[in-house]
Structure 1
């Protein structure tokens, strides 16, 4: 006889499962339990490793069914998960990562707004290799959507059951099994604006062999999502910036062009601009970045070259197989392979002569002394022949060598657009066996190996050394333009002319062009053995369930840029390689103890779990939980669970070298400070020489456009990090009135969660660093700040140049809220109506950057609205299915740290972003059992996102809104078919 413990749960048997976007656990678990009892099978619900009849999870759980995936029309699972109100804005998605130097276009998820590092993604209950190097974040691009049977979403600490990273919860993706036959599908979609072309095709086939002892299933999938460019959306077509007016934060200054223009801008003294070139490459005096009543704009519109949605192409393979070696032993195999191709595109490189001539403050000599045959100066002066006479007459000596020099900024439109093309390959193989021990005890053992590799080529960069030599130009004895340095000539140096638009020759471009290269590899080795069964009916209420097991995991990651990038010689930052590894040995145990059953109450049971982990990096960690499951009557359950979760630092957090970031939404506390400003603020601000120079020049510390756009900084890892500890409490009320015929198809849950993280691994917020330095006078924070002495291209000194940040265990986190779900199904007019609702209210959420510091609240801010809900209505009649889906994102506010810089209170109405409601619709028609087709519309109402202009926190560069939270693409249409044989 074939073992029944591997029986697949058939969702078609569950009346609430058909067509619902969200299925509450009471219905799912009870239907599964009923089915299991009919044939003696045992089941496992996500949240526990114990397999016993009728067991349901005491932790809050929602389930996305196969039907909900089909009715959404999504290409990527991330799109569907983000509709669930339990999820916050993802760290990486197709619409918010165009400016990422690596992992652009990946798809991650973030439960409870606690970060993707605290959300554990599983496949079939086991870990999956990370898709983002140095992290634990799984790239959902690697998951074949049409191969998914269901997705279980478990919120609350689950480290005792599943190990590290499950602080906020678990997303468990369950693949299909037991498929026989062939199924083929295809889908095409396009945005109303004519872009975002989406295509996907899939083929699934499976069957059995050896008289039913073996079975297999294979899925092949392909999808391609097209680009959406900033220039093709009204709100993002032109560079803009917020007005810095606290009475109207969302009022924009447009245009707000960049002063780094393709024709160049030239300076004859530090910060003193003298001119540029017109459309005919004739030198003209002055420079008007945004234009005025008498002069057109000389600046550059970066938005004309930026991307909102990254084109993404995927090839997917997933397979599983099993074989009954004997009546009690089964071997099994799982395999997944995904190839993902992405392409980012943004404006050309903004070159500052300071990037090339750092030693001379950004100035390079346009005059050189003539050398004799022996290489000795003769005293004669040689002038760079590219310099126009009008500009030459305005130049002087800035470095004391008696030779005239010039500084400049220039957009390198001649070279290429910046961006990268990335190929990511992920594969994972898993093999194992399972069987019976004695009585009802079972065992399983497995080993898996997963690997993600990435090969990335970037464009638009240049070789700093070559450009430095190519700018130093003279005429040789024959009158030919050559590079002045003889060694450079031997290396093939070709003179570069930066005086005007499109003046760099093709040969010169080949000499200075320096494509960037990035290679990454992430590997995961995972092994485990488990045993689970019962210990007898000790209290007369049912068998005690027990699960024990051991696991081993080895993680490795390497990210390595090319030699020029590592040395900082391609116009960008020096980014050293990031490499690191760790392994961990773990033991766990879990118990479920029924205390009462069918007495004066329906049931009462206790659960508990514990895990000991020994990391090669942080040593031993301990996770544990305890819960109670109480049913006063059959139709009502009350559950509660207390949990201690741990999360060990990942490889990036431990070993990442300094890497550059370009933060937005920062307010300089020194703005407006004068020579007479009293107190700590005035004292600390004036301790910076550049700030004093600025005050002397302007009467008060003043910032211009270039200053506002030019803040950078470096993020660093910390090898001394320890583990973080999360304490969570979750309580749940479940009402499923199966004993009342009129309400049998109604399900309701109400949940409360409170997750606190101690010793949280956080990067200290940059606004916090600024405020601690300048307002509190904390020198340790001032050490993270670098101000400009006299920035080229600026009329003011002292502006913020770099603000560094590093990860530490000094932080704290909290997320507290309420979840409500409701499902109902009813026969209506000879058809079936299915309704589903999921609602989350965020009561509290904050980060504590340092022990004793004020809370930095995120609850209610952009990306973490206090109120979110998802609603779905599906009506099926005859051969037609109609689905309407809606997602509500409540009103949100700008970041409170940003508002504090304007002395505006958090949640001030002036900083409010209105609520959004997105509606989607789909119609499916089953022409026959073997054929159906469907059409759908996303963003049915055509909502335009609220403009969050550059300079405001929450802005996604290029989208002019928070493109990870709000729909920046607009109304989209799709249609598709499915064939079955």
Structure 2
């Protein structure tokens, strides 16, 4: 609905923290050389011990001497603290491998969650783990809400980009984000942080308390954490650049045709009511039109609160047997706010002859349109009733607020042990559940308003049932408080999602060594079972589509389960030879058997798939390691994609080929428009998309099959002995996704139908349902069907670069330099075989929705001298060009800002250890108070573009300060 574990060996868990090393490096995302690595071969500081830097993501084989071929990036807790962000989603969207996904800067279209999107392939293709275990999704889409993960308990975040399904199963197409929690904590630690902008708004508060203790003579540990976060709302009206809804073509103040006076879609140009109930012919008086400026009501930062509680425990039952467990509880509340609802060109029957709310002049205008309406047989010519599409903004009802509350809990428990010195095993089980309530307030009930606009000469409802109160929506400010309450509609939906996972594996050394290798290889074999269920329970008005402003929703009751078996192998092939100091082979395979069931539809489906990986690394000399990996990954359709029935909603489109005067003079197009639902009498006067939006139908398909992807990565790690403390990594990646499950854009359906297919009975033309006036805006029977299909192809290709250098500067301390960059070479998106491939790298607009520049980088300079640390962070976002979309091709020159210039942001932060147990930190983000690019509201999709800019990609609030303190006992 929209608005108009892996485990590691026990030695690894006992190791000390990597925080000190990474904090000094202060790398935004230090590209690690391998999953399990010694410090001499990874871009971390050489002062860390071997046990400190075992990286666990990307493989279940945890042996420090075996290198893995997949590159991993690491973000530490200290890096997050010095950034001043209160939530991890704000930080992760800034790493070069990611693009801006949902978060507090997303308003219209945000489902009350914070997500991560690696490689711009969609959050549903990024797998999120906590300590190597799947975390519970927030709803039927299978996506994790990062709000539910406590930042204060994160030790580090490990990011593997590219396919990883052979290790983790479905969803790991673009990569894995693994949150590693702090374990074996002793003592009490309290942390507090507060921030606000220089305008005095956008306050952010974060509080946490962590307590831990060892017991049983150090054989066990229990750690408990509680956190609280709050961010306050910032409206678009609070910033000059976002106050007015600007047109991208000329920056003229614009807005919606659904305005406060009321727009009537009759005649070539339509009419607008005035305060006296008269109708102004906008063809004769175009200057009289008053577009509705919806921007001031919308948000640049959505208000949200999060509470989390986490318990971590481990206990060594014996020298060869250990228990571990985690209990997580979280609650979040997110509110998004958009402009007051309206009628949005739903059709209404108006009894104009004796309606006391209409002037004599308006009655005369309506009489001219009192024609036989074949779509409404009751409305005959001259019967005193006109069926008209109305666009009246109902400001009297207040803003439309969407209130999302998520409550999630997860329990994880397992045993791990050793058969011998080289064989280890683990079994685990986990269960999680999310309960989600959604309240949508201050909308209008279509049935009640339809009833309330038909008024007797005496001022009563023609149909007085249900306590009807006559509604005067014919002019600004005419709706009474009593009528507003009668038509007001608040909606509610309850969702629940559950997840059960159990499995086990055995890992250890192979019983042999390859003749030319110095050490044996290692293996892992395992099995896993997972079951996920989800239910959506919308109220009756949502199901019926009686909500004009919020759209509709449909019940979902679906589930799937999957049985999997997997194996991995890492095998040294050659050691200690000239130009082949090391040559290692790595492989993995996973088989999955799926069964799904959609109870609401009484259907089900089953399928199986394979995923695998094959790669290796070669170390010709001590200073260089080359790595390569080829992987086949899958993403099975999630519950929403298989279980959601067709649902009326709202989508984006810039151009309707049948609108305005477009068909005139083109007989073939004119006939096709008529054949696809435009009344012949309306040719030349059909209204186009309203504020870049049209109606649509979304939904799933139980017959969907898994997506398949292939990923190539090839790269090198350079650590010259002549330059101690320096590490460079360069990695090329190429991810291709076939049979991608996509919701084809509404504009693409129109383009194919009218520009390519040109057949009213064709596949895509059949997806179009028009209103009685020919519009694509109207009631819940009108719109473009964009239900999900295995129809698309995706591709992401680029180069990741990581540089890190740390050196002493004598008595002045030490200096650390870190650089993490991505050069995006391809971001391709093809919605259907009939459509050309959209090459979206460096483009943004109606098809290329999320900004994905060719270059993104972050450079940090960190100076440390005793208790004092200062850090300057430089973030670069490359230039972007508006994509050319629509029927035919739109010229970028049609936009005031055809290109968004490259952006540079600078953040300054520091910390000071006052005592061993008390430290302070603070900083200034967006140091030079750089305003985001202003491009106009119709530059792209309504979820990503809001307030004339892209508030999740660029800083929408301006310079901000933060202060924080940590005290331990």
Give the TM-score of the pair, scaled to structure 2. Answer: 0.89
Question: Residue 922 of structure 1 contacts residue 937 of structure 1 at CA under 8 Å; is this kept in 2?
Answer: yes
Separation in 2, partners of 1:264, 1:612: 59
Report what 1:440 is aligned to: 422
| Residue 792 to residue 969, structure 1, CA distance change in 2 (3 Å) | same
Separation in 1, partners of 2:460, 2:12: 79
Question: Residue 632 of structure 2 contacts residue 710 of structure 2 at CA under 8 Å; is this kept in 1?
Answer: yes
Report what 2:273 is aligned to: 276
Q: Does 1:915 align with 2:895?
A: no
1:753 to 725, 733, 740: 733
CA RMSD after TM alignment: 3.1
Q: Deviations over 1:118-146 (max 9, x none)?
A: 11111101111112x22221111111111
| Residue 900 to residue 946, structure 1, CA distance change in 2 (3 Å) | farther
Equivalence map 1:155-554=2 (5 Å): 155-243=161-249, 251-252=250-251, 254-265=252-263, 276-278=273-275, 282-286=276-280, 298-351=290-343, 355=346, 358=347, 362-366=348-352, 383-389=354-360, 391-392=362-363, 394-396=365-367, 397-398=370-371, 399-400=379-380, 402-405=382-385, 407=388, 408-474=390-456, 482-485=460-463, 488=465, 491-539=466-514, 540-554=517-531
Separation in 2, partners of 1:348, 1:725: 43
Q: Deviations over 1:402-459 (max 9, x none)?
A: 5434654322122232122221111111111111112321111111111111112111
| Residue 446 to residue 647, structure 1, CA distance change in 2 (3 Å) | same
Q: Deviations over 1:37-86 (max 9, x none)?
A: 98999955321111223233210111112221121111111111111111
Of 567-576 and 911-920, more deviation after overlay is shown by 567-576
- Tell me, what secondary structure is at the counterpart of 1:564? helix
Separation in 2, partners of 1:834, 1:290: 68
1:693, distance to aligned residue in structure 2 (A): 4.0
Separation in 1, partners of 2:717, 2:240: 47
Of 297-306 and 7-16, more deviation after overlay is shown by 7-16
Q: Does 1:713 align with 2:705?
A: no
- Tell me, what secondary structure is at the counterpart of 1:469? helix
- Tell me, what secondary structure is at the counterpart of 1:199? strand
Separation in 2, partners of 1:944, 1:899: 33
1:285, distance to aligned residue in structure 2 (A): 4.9
Separation in 2, partners of 1:134, 1:195: 35
Question: Residue 899 of structure 1 contacts residue 905 of structure 1 at CA under 8 Å; is this kept in 2?
Answer: no
Equivalence map 1:845-860=2 (5 Å): 845-851=827-833, 853-860=835-842
- Tell me, what secondary structure is at the counterpart of 1:711? strand
Equivalence map 1:34-49=2 (5 Å): 43=54, 45-49=56-60
1:509, distance to aligned residue in structure 2 (A): 3.3
Report what 1:248 is aligned to: none
Q: Which runs of 5+ in 2 are unaligned?
A: 1-8, 372-378, 597-605, 845-850
Separation in 2, partners of 1:16, 1:226: 29
| Residue 858 to residue 210, structure 1, CA distance change in 2 (3 Å) | same
Report what 1:935 is aligned to: 922
Report what 1:370 is aligned to: none
Separation in 2, partners of 1:866, 1:691: 46
Q: Which runs of 5+ in 1 are unaligned?
A: 244-250, 368-382
Question: Residue 300 of structure 2 contacts residue 956 of structure 2 at CA under 8 Å; is this kept in 1?
Answer: yes
1:469, distance to aligned residue in structure 2 (A): 3.1
1:298, distance to aligned residue in structure 2 (A): 3.7
Q: Does 1:595 align with 2:573?
A: yes
Question: Residue 256 of structure 2 contacts residue 691 of structure 2 at CA under 8 Å; is this kept in 1?
Answer: no
Separation in 1, partners of 2:610, 2:646: 31
Report what 1:247 is aligned to: none
Report what 2:136 is aligned to: 129
1:847, distance to aligned residue in structure 2 (A): 1.9
Q: Deviations over 1:358-378 (max 9, x none)?
A: 5xxx322245xxxxxxxxxxx
Equivalence map 1:714-733=2 (5 Å): 714-733=697-716
| Residue 775 to residue 496, structure 1, CA distance change in 2 (3 Å) | closer
Question: Residue 623 of structure 1 contacts residue 646 of structure 1 at CA under 8 Å; is this kept in 2?
Answer: yes
- Tell me, what secondary structure is at the counterpart of 1:874? strand
Report what 1:626 is aligned to: 614
1:571 to 548, 551, 575: 548
| Residue 464 to residue 691, structure 1, CA distance change in 2 (3 Å) | closer
Separation in 2, partners of 1:538, 1:36: 32
Give the TM-score of the pair, scaled to structure 1. Answer: 0.88
Runs of 4 or more above 6 Å deviation: 32-42, 287-293, 791-794
Separation in 1, partners of 2:627, 2:494: 48
Of 838-847 and 595-604, more deviation after overlay is shown by 595-604
Equivalence map 1:53-72=2 (5 Å): 53-72=64-83
Separation in 2, partners of 1:262, 1:15: 56
Separation in 2, partners of 1:791, 1:754: 44
Of 572-581 and 442-451, more deviation after overlay is shown by 572-581
| Residue 844 to residue 15, structure 1, CA distance change in 2 (3 Å) | closer
Question: Residue 592 of structure 1 contacts residue 607 of structure 1 at CA under 8 Å; is this kept in 2?
Answer: yes
Separation in 2, partners of 1:93, 1:41: 32
Q: Does 1:824 align with 2:814?
A: no
Separation in 1, partners of 2:797, 2:687: 40
Equivalence map 1:131-146=2 (5 Å): 131=138, 133-146=139-152
| Residue 861 to residue 710, structure 1, CA distance change in 2 (3 Å) | closer
Separation in 1, partners of 2:864, 2:904: 25
Question: Residue 99 of structure 2 contacts residue 117 of structure 2 at CA under 8 Å; is this kept in 1?
Answer: yes
Larger Rg: 1
Of 940-949 and 153-162, more deviation after overlay is shown by 940-949
| Residue 291 to residue 530, structure 1, CA distance change in 2 (3 Å) | farther
Equivalence map 1:654-673=2 (5 Å): 654-664=642-652, 666-669=654-657, 673=662
Q: Does 1:780 align with 2:758?
A: no
Separation in 2, partners of 1:15, 1:418: 45
1:3, distance to aligned residue in structure 2 (A): 5.6
Separation in 1, partners of 2:821, 2:712: 19
Report what 1:375 is aligned to: none
1:789, distance to aligned residue in structure 2 (A): 4.6
1:275, distance to aligned residue in structure 2 (A): 5.1
| Residue 47 to residue 689, structure 1, CA distance change in 2 (3 Å) | closer
Separation in 1, partners of 2:48, 2:342: 68
- Tell me, what secondary structure is at the counterpart of 1:510? helix
Q: Number of residue pairs matched?
A: 919
Q: Does 1:581 align with 2:565?
A: no
